[in-house]
Each structure stands twice: as structure tokens, then as C-alpha cells.
Amino acid sequence: MNIHPEILAKSEKNGAMSLYDHLRFVGMATEKTAASLGLDPFIAKSGAYLHDIGKTHPDFQKKLWDHSPSVKMSLRHEISSILFLPVFPHEQWDKLIDMVIAHHRSPQRDSRSQGILDLVDYEGEEEVFNRHSEGWDDWSPLAVDILNSLGVSAAPVSYMDAQNAFSYTIEYCSAKKQGWSVLKGILIGSDYLASAIAEKTVFVKDKLFQIPDLSYFRSPGRESELYPLSLLDTNDPRPHTIVSAPTGAGKTDFLMRRCKSRIFYTLPFQASINAMFRRFKDAFPPDTDLRVLHASSKLLVKNNDDYEEKVLQEMIGSSVKVLTPFQISSLITGTKGFEAVAIDVSGTDVILDEIHSYSEIAQALVIEIIRVLLNLNCRIHVGTATMPRSLFDKIIELLGGLENTYVVNLSDEILDTFNRHRVHKHNDEASAFSVIPEAIGKKQKILIVSNRVQNAQRRFVQLTSQYPDIPALLIHSRFRRKDRAALEDLLKSKFNSSLEMPDGCIVVSTQVVEVSLDISFDIMITDASPLDSLIQRFGRINRYRTKESVRNNIIKEVHVIAPPSDKRSSLPYSKEILERSFSLLPDGEILLERSLQDKINEVYPSLDLRSISTSSVWNNSKIRLKELCHNPKSVLMQMLDIDSASCIRFSDRVAYESGSAEDRISLEIPVPRSALFRTFTNHGRSDYGTNPLIVPDELYQDNLGLTFLESDNFI
């Protein structure tokens, strides 16, 4: 048999992989994925072999070597692929079409109008068929050879049979109703995976879709009175969970012990995701398929020489994945690849930790995600330190009430053992900062949290000038991603250590320290923020519980600066929420854990979810998309600023534009989308990667990050 190694699936620039090898690897991945979902692996493998066989078309092969634009109609290889349907039994055609015809382009209303139904509408059925079957007798035998080499009993396909298959596909796609295709999801997910790791698919496939070993979290040695949730039984028969408890009560272990399947662990912030990933690295057996996913997650595994570990992060089939909910938001918006996300998350345990920490519109998205996850037979586990009653009621309603949800709260007596902070309220920054000299004299580790990057930078400059001999660190979101990753490591390994910092230190930060970053300082000065946010910030002070700290009721001081008097200065928060939160804080007294729920309910008396119904493709359990179709880029993601803009330094431009995707990520500086319209650079934007703004080097300092200044000569 002839595998025709000269027929390529990928260009030389992308590895020059032969079509035979690519189809073989995708076949392995689809077979494993389908079997894991309880579907026919033979059909799945057949779809994998068929999906790219149209790349044998001479014009596609020319395109791999010659990038000059063609004057002909666009050639879509998946359309050429379905001309080989007659190789397979007719009763399999519908399933094979589901896998093949839309794995790149939406059949209808494609963003580039290159789906099969779009092309037929614009060019006519005969023209589209002629384009994709052009030279049929010359190249179709090569495709049949490759299929036979893959183990398919493929007879030659006549021109007329190819035309009948094309017409059948058009009729089949045109008749589709609303819905989504599991088979399309299997093909897309498997194709992405096999394309990324190529020949390593042979070894990786056996690790896919494995239930993780949770024995670490269930071991008797993890039980302790210091972590009251560790003493509670998790074997409740109800599928879903809501657990509310203070920082340090053992929520993570409790939520993990509730899991029975593969796990998606979601958190709101990059720093908290990184911290949880590192924590899980130590907890799971070394061979666990553990992945992490956020904008710069590849940097977290950069020191590992294992290439597939880096590229697998966003692929299907992990045992445990730590990510933001936004990484699975295509489930809501129906954007490209949502079917692969759906089959990946289907039937898993999904942990939504710190669910209260999202903005109003992000919270609305999380609520919609819960709806869809329930449709996909997921078990939902919610963890929080501070959830308003209104949000609790909404989630309980979605989960099917108390008969479906195991709700766990700690008693007032246990909550009293978590009283750790005395709150002091200040009218202004100067008053709050007046406590710093005494803290330095006591060699304390001082944490200063600002609501805005600009204020954090200003305070850092002021304090390092005032106390030049005190070790100091600034951390916020506007550092190059690789610099921020290094700062997070430095914060945890050095500034968090009393051994490394015996004479104390100063760390100035924004909200990036707020959730799940495992640090414990001695004293805090913070801007006023919403009460739930403040509670999270306070959790970075006097964090570690010991028998001694509980027995002696050790209390540490936190100082809160009054909110600004105007709405603009209050951003990114609501002025009214800030004022309400600040008014409920004690002054000069211990903040009682048992009082927090009532205070939170008072700050958020009702659930004010912004409607995202126009952005969601779901209406309760029904999807509003035509099956096999997907939406173009979502407006909702832009509203959430998830697709935020990025900058690079002028001096990094060459390295960025010539570097790998991982190199580019490491050099990017995240900025708000509004930065695109500010006049602080005249270097324009790069044509590579995420098309970042190119900013003057003088706007970036290693210890301060990016500072915004208006350019005087912006053109």
C-alpha cells in the first residue's frame, strides 16, 4: 500500500507532516475520545480518516508551498473530503458529515462566508462542486491509496458518486434543526490535540479522560481540628454542593473529596489559578494529567522540557484542569470550538471556587454557565467565603433545591475561632500610612492593597523613597507576563517567608493578591472595596491557623482607607457599594466571622444580574443555534474585557515578532481595551500575535511595570 508521504497535511513551516500520519494520529485521538463518551469508536475513527482527506487536492498541496493568493474560488478541503463519503457504508454518512463538514467553517453564516451552504448560495452548487472536484481522476486515487493504508476498505470513487455525495451533504446540512453535534465536538477536540502533539499522540492518548486519584485529599492524615471541614463527611448522595467557610477552613480539600469524575476547578484570577495549580502538582501522583489554563498559563510550565505538557493545556481529556470560567464561556456564546468544550466538560465535576468574586456581568455569565453545565450532566460544587443570600438562593434554585444540593456551613462557635482581624477605619491615606513606622519598628511584613494600578505605583515609589532600606515589592497586572510570573514566585518564596525577611518588608499590590494566593502578612493597609472583596484581602493577613494561634486568639491589624467621594475615583467599583461596605466595618474592634453573612446580605440585598440573554445561544435546555453551526467572535467577551488588549515594549518588538507563541505571551503586557484609544504611543501596533500596541521603553520599568503617559506628538 502507498501512504504517499509526499502528500502533506501541514506546510514545511508547520512541520511538513504527511497527510497519512496526521490522519493516523487524529484517528487515535478520536477513537479514545469516543470510547470515553460511550460512543462508537469505529465511526469516530472513520470520521477522523475522512476529515482531511480532501487535502490531497492539488490546489491545497500547492497552497502549502506557495502562499500567493489564488484567483479561484476558495478551496475548502473539508468539502473535498466529503466527496469520499462513498468509501463508507451509506448508513454512516450522516455521522461522518457531522464530524467533517464543519470542523473548520460554520456551514452557514460563516464569518468568512466559506461554509458549504454559504458557498453554494454565493457561487451555485455546480460551481462549488466543480471547484472541489477539479482534476478528480488525477488526485482521487491518491486519496483512496491513503485511506486503504489506514485500514479502510476503500474502492475508487467515481465522479458521479462524488457528485451524489456532495448533493447529499448539501441536503443534509440544509435540513438541520437547532441543536449541537457531539460528533463535531469529538472531531474538533481530537484534531486540535493530534495536530499539536503529532506522533506523541501514540503515548498521550492512553492518559486522556482518566479519573484522577484523589487519595491525597481523602487520607486520614488530612483531618485536623484546625481545618473543620476536614472532619465533615462528604459522602452525601446529593450531586451538587455549596460550602461556605472562611479562608483556611479546608474548602479546597472538602470540594475535591466531593468529586467522583474528572475535575474542572475554576477560579476568578490568574494568580489564584497559578497557586492552585502548584498546590495540585504536589498533591496528585506525578503521572496525573493535570493542566492549567488562562491567558499566560503556558508560562507556568515553561521550565518543563516536555513539549506536549505545554501544548496540551487547552486540549480535551485532562484528568484535572484549573482555569477561569471564561475559558469555557464558548459554551454560552456558541463560538468556534464550543462543541469540543462541551464534550470535554460533559459529565465531569465542576468546582466554582470564590464565585462571589466576579463583576456583575461576569457573575451573570457564571450563572449561565451553571445552566449549561447542568444540561451536560455535570456535578456542580460551589465554594465561597462570602456569598450574598440573594446569590445563594439563585444558585440553589438552578441546582434543583436542597434535595439536590449538599449545603455546608460552619457553626457560630467554630466561626468564632476564625476571628483574626481588628479593623481600623481611616479618613484618608495619610492617616492610614501613619501606622507604617511602628510596623517597620516591629519588623512586620506590611501588605498595602490598592484598587488601581496607578495608585499602587505611586505608593510604591513613595514608600521605597521613604524607607530605602526596607525590602519592597510591587505586583499588579501591567507587568510583562513573564515578569509578573517571576514577581508572584518572589512574593511567595521570599517576601512571604519570615526566614527570608526577618526584618520585615513592604509589598504593594492591587487586587491580584485577593483570592487564593497563599501568603500571610502581619499588617494590611487597603483601599476600601466591596465587603466581600475586603474579606478576601484580609485573608492574606494572619492567614495560617495553628493550635497556638487559635488557643491564644491571635489578632492582627487591618487598616481601611475611606472610599473616594466621587464615582469616577471609586472605579472599578460602585461608589454606593463601597460606602455601604465601609459603613458596616467595625472601627478599632475585632471583625467577627459570625457577623459577616448578615453584613454581606446588607451590602447586596438583591441579586442585580445583568442580562446576557442576547449573547447566550441557550434558552433553558434548548440551544438556539442550527446544528453544526457556530457563532463568530462574541460581543459578550468584549463586554467582559476578557479579550483585553496588550502592549509590548519597543525593544521587545523583534523578539516578539520572530518568537514562538509562548515567547510572545511572555512579552505581552495586559492593558484595558480602552488603552487602544489613548495617545501614549506613536509606534503603532505589531502585525503579529495579538497585534499589541508598541509602547516606548521609557513607559516600562522593571520595578514599576507599565505607566500610562499621553504622547505629545501622537499622530
The answer to whether residues 411 and 434 belong to one domain is: no
Structure confidence at residue 304 (pLDDT) = 46
Smallest CA-to-CA distance from 633 within 111, 109, 104 is with 111
Which range has the worst mean pLDDT, 87-91, 106-110, 425-429? 106-110
How would residue 379 be classed by pLDDT, with cut points 50, 70 and 90?
A: very high
What's the gap between Cα 295 and its chain centre?
Answer: 7
The answer to whether residues 63 and 148 belong to one domain is: yes
Boundary-marking domain end, from 415, 435, 470: 415
Where do the H-state alpha helices sit in 52-102?
58-65, 77-81, 93-100
User: What is the DSSP secondary structure assignment for residue 57, as one 8-state letter?
Assistant: S
Structure confidence at residue 668 (pLDDT) = 94
Sequence-ordered list of residues with C-beta below 8 angstroms from that of 309, at least 6 positions apart, any chain = 301
**Number of structural domains in the chain:** 4
pLDDT of residue 678 exceeding 70, the answer is: no
Q: What's the mean per-residue pLDDT of the chain?
A: 90
User: Do residues 572 and 674 make contact, with C-beta atoms less than 8 angstroms apart?
Assistant: no
Residue that is written with C-alpha cell 484609544 in the block: 677
Structure confidence at residue 442 (pLDDT) = 96
Burial class of 606 by CB neighbour count within 10 A (0 to 12, 13 to 18, 19+): exposed
CA–CA distance, 266 with 640 (Å, rounded to integer): 17
pLDDT of residue 307 exceeding 70, the answer is: no
Q: What are the pLDDT digits (tens) for 458-500?
A: 999 999 999 999 999 999 989 999 999 899 889 988 999 888 9
Sequence-distant contacts of 492-501: CB under 8 A, at least 24 apart: 492/275, 492/517, 492/518, 492/519, 495/445, 495/471, 495/519, 496/445, 496/520, 496/521, 498/445, 501/445, 501/471
Boundary-marking domain end, from 415, 449, 471: 415
Give the C-alpha distances (Å, rounded to integers) separating 52 from 19, 144, 618: 8, 13, 31
Which whole number is the average pLDDT over 279-297? 85
Which whole number is the average pLDDT over 7-27? 91
In a domain, 353, yes or no: yes
Q: Which three cell numbers stand for residue 98?
A: 457531522
CB atoms within 10 A of CB 559: 21
Q: Which three cell numbers stand for residue 477?
A: 497586572
Burial class of 282 by CB neighbour count within 10 A (0 to 12, 13 to 18, 19+): exposed
Structure confidence at residue 499 (pLDDT) = 87
CA–CA distance, 514 with 268 (Å, rounded to integer): 10
pLDDT of residue 423 exceeding 50, the answer is: yes
Structure confidence at residue 516 (pLDDT) = 55
Smallest CA-to-CA distance from 195 within 399, 29, 361 is with 29
Structure confidence at residue 355 (pLDDT) = 82
Smallest CA-to-CA distance from 84 within 24, 156, 184, 186 is with 156
Structure confidence at residue 640 (pLDDT) = 58
Which whole number is the average pLDDT over 38-52? 98
CA–CA distance, 211 with 289 (Å, rounded to integer): 9
Got the DSSP string for 496-544? T-TTT-TT-EEEEE-GGGSSS----BSEEEEE---HHHHHHHHTTBS--
User: Do residues 19 and 4 make contact, with C-beta atoms less than 8 angstroms apart?
Assistant: yes
Instruction: Give the SS3 label for residue 181.
Output: coil
User: What is the DSSP secondary structure assignment for residue 227, as one 8-state letter?
Assistant: B
In a domain, 407, yes or no: yes
pLDDT of residue 373 exceeding 90, the answer is: yes
Residue that is written with C-alpha cell 473548520 in the block: 104
Structure confidence at residue 72 (pLDDT) = 77
Q: What are the pLDDT digits (tens) for 99-110?
A: 999 999 999 988
The answer to whether residues 435 and 369 belong to one domain is: no
CA–CA distance, 162 with 128 (Å, rounded to integer): 13
Q: What are the pLDDT digits (tens) for 187-233?
A: 999 999 999 899 999 999 999 999 999 999 999 999 999 999 999 99
The answer to whether residues 408 and 451 belong to one domain is: no
How would residue 300 be classed by pLDDT, with cut points 50, 70 and 90?
A: low
Where do the H-state alpha helices sit in 181-301?
182-197, 201-204, 215-218, 251-257, 270-283
What's the gap between Cα 409 and its chain centre?
Answer: 29
The answer to whether residues 232 and 369 belong to one domain is: yes
Structure confidence at residue 679 (pLDDT) = 58
Q: What is the CATH number of the domain that holds 70?
A: 1.10.3210
**Identity at 540, one-letter amino acid code:** R
Q: At what angle do helices 182-197 and 19-36 cross, to 10 degrees?
A: 130
CA–CA distance, 78 with 99 (Å, rounded to integer): 10
CA–CA distance, 196 with 216 (Å, rounded to integer): 32
In a domain, 598, yes or no: no
Positive or negative torsion for Cα 406, 412, 413, 415: positive
Which whole number is the average pLDDT over 56-72? 80
The answer to whether residues 371 and 384 belong to one domain is: yes
The answer to whether residues 464 and 586 belong to one domain is: yes
Structure confidence at residue 620 (pLDDT) = 82
Phi, psi (5° rounding) for residue 274? -60, -45
Boundary-marking domain end, from 415, 432, 449: 415
Domain holding 300, by residue range, is 209-415
The answer to whether residues 191 and 334 belong to one domain is: no
Structure confidence at residue 711 (pLDDT) = 38
Q: What is the CATH number of the domain that holds 394?
A: 3.40.50.300
In a domain, 624, yes or no: no
User: Do residues 382 and 395 make contact, with C-beta atoms less than 8 angstroms apart?
Assistant: yes
In a domain, 613, yes or no: no
Residue that is written with C-alpha cell 448508513 in the block: 91
In a domain, 623, yes or no: no
Instruction: Give the SS3 label for residue 285.
Output: coil
pLDDT of residue 380 exceeding 70, the answer is: yes
Which whole number is the average pLDDT over 265-287? 89
In a domain, 313, yes or no: yes
How would residue 290 be classed by pLDDT, with cut points 50, 70 and 90?
A: very high
DSSP H/E element including 648? strand 645-649
Which range has the worst mean pLDDT, 37-46, 73-82, 289-298, 544-553? 289-298
CB atoms within 10 A of CB 225: 12
The answer to whether residues 174 and 216 belong to one domain is: no
Smallest CA-to-CA distance from 297 within 269, 330, 262, 336 is with 269
pLDDT of residue 633 exceeding 80, the answer is: no
CA angle 323, 328, 331 (to 5 degrees): 165
User: Do residues 148 and 5 make contact, with C-beta atoms less than 8 angstroms apart?
Assistant: no
Structure confidence at residue 641 (pLDDT) = 52
Give the C-alpha distances (Å, rounded to integers) separating 467 from 80, 433, 508, 528, 585: 70, 13, 13, 24, 30
pLDDT of residue 246 exceeding 70, the answer is: yes
Of residues 137 and 293, the one with the higher pLDDT is: 137
Determine how β-strand 405-409 pairs with β-strand 622-623. Answer: unpaired
CA–CA distance, 540 with 447 (Å, rounded to integer): 8
CA–CA distance, 113 with 106 (Å, rounded to integer): 9
Q: What are the pLDDT digits (tens) for 559-612?
A: 999 999 999 999 889 999 999 999 999 999 999 999 999 999 999 998 877 667
User: What is the DSSP secondary structure assignment for residue 442, as one 8-state letter?
Assistant: T
The answer to whether residues 260 and 396 belong to one domain is: yes
The answer to whether residues 177 and 262 belong to one domain is: no
pLDDT of residue 635 exceeding 60, the answer is: no
CB atoms within 10 A of CB 163: 17
How would residue 296 be classed by pLDDT, with cut points 50, 70 and 90?
A: low
CA–CA distance, 247 with 251 (Å, rounded to integer): 8
The answer to whether residues 144 and 282 belong to one domain is: no
**Identity at 268, one-letter amino acid code:** P
In a domain, 463, yes or no: yes
